[in-house]
Amino acid sequence: MPAPQTRRQKEFEARIKEMGAELAKRFGMTRRRFFKTAGGMAAAFVAMNEVYAKSGEPFFRVEKDEHRDLELAQARADGLKGQFIMDMHTHFLREGTPIRAFVAQREAVGKAGWNPALAGKRRPSRT
């Protein structure tokens, strides 16, 4: 079961729903369709900045009114679409973990040479 939403998560959800409904109506589309546009992505960044920014310093760079101008939002998205983004995180595997898929992925990374430290490492044993 997921943990209950925090106050800030609830605030973000309310803001993005309200913003999405208002802007979708303005553009003559459903809220779902709006959120599939670059303007919808910009709206999500604006809402997150409003809720989570610290000392007025935003987490996400969004041009002024980018979420309110679909052409501006799409032009900015087109200008950024060639950048390389790597989504990285770590999974800690205890000895004897029953999560075999992660173990197999770890072994594949070692065999492929992507992480030489994993090459030839034994799979954690089940205890």
pLDDT tens readout for residues 19-60: 999 999 999 999 999 999 999 999 999 999 999 988 878 989
> What residues does 54 pair with on adjacent strands?
57
Residue 81: pLDDT over 70: yes
- Neighbour-count burial of 92, counting CB atoms closer than 10 A to its CB (0-12 exposed, 13-18 middle, 19+ buried): exposed
pTM value is: 0.67
Q: What is the DSSP code (8-state) at residue 56? A: T
Phi, psi of 57 (to 5 degrees): -90, 110
Residue 69 one-letter amino acid: D
The per-residue pLDDT for 43 is: 97
> What residues does 120 pair with on adjacent strands?
none
Q: Which two tokens stand for residue 116?
A: 């030489």
Percentage of residues in the chain having pLDDT higher than 70: 90
